[in-house]
Amino acid sequence: EAGVAQSPRYKIIEKRQSVAFWCNPISGHATLYWYQQILGQGPKLLIQFQNNGVVDDSQLPKDRFSAERLKGVDSTLKIQPAKLEDSAVYLCASSLRARKPPPPNEQFFGPGTRLTVL
């Protein structure tokens, strides 16, 4: 079974530039998560999708970050314009389905994209 794919693995940009990350979850996984991990901190949830709908984006800085999951499969996360404090590893994860009620299933993570903003 193929794992969660992410690209690019590394990206270096200057502040005020734009950047986009791509994630392809495990086939059949309904739930997709994007996390931001700043050095020395734990991963912080940015957005959670259930199929192509947003479940939670309360911690997404919507003035500069956007995300979509067209057709409920792969997803893109965009930052426009980037700031120095956006330097982090961006992790994508997927899980089989979101249960109602919770608890959620285990998450399967991609390798992450390391973003450096200069």
Partner 1 sequence: ILNVEQSPQSLHVQEGDSTNFTCSFPSSNFYALHWYRWETAKSPEALFVMTLNGDEKKKGRISATLNTKEGYSYLYIKGSQPEDSATYLCAFYGNQFYFGTGTSLTVIP
Write each residue from 62 to 91 as x if it is in contact with partner 1 (CB under 8 A), else as -, in one continuous string: -----------------------------x
The span of 13-21, 22-30, 38-46, 69-77 binding partner 1 (CB under 8 A) equals 38-46
Does position 25 bind partner 1 by CB under 8 A?
Answer: no
Q: Give me 14's structure tokens.
A: 């200057």
Strand 65-68 with 10-13, pairing: unpaired
Q: Give me 77's structure tokens.
A: 């996360």
Does position 22 bind partner 1 by CB under 8 A?
Answer: no
Does position 41 bind partner 1 by CB under 8 A?
Answer: yes
The span of 11-19, 21-29, 36-44, 71-79 binding partner 1 (CB under 8 A) equals 36-44
Q: Where are the beta strands (DSSP E) in the chain?
A: 5-7, 10-13, 19-24, 31-37, 44-50, 53-56, 65-68, 75-79, 88-95, 108-109, 113-117
Interacting residues with partner 1 (CB under 8 A): 3-4, 33, 35, 40-45, 48, 56, 58-59, 91, 93, 101-112
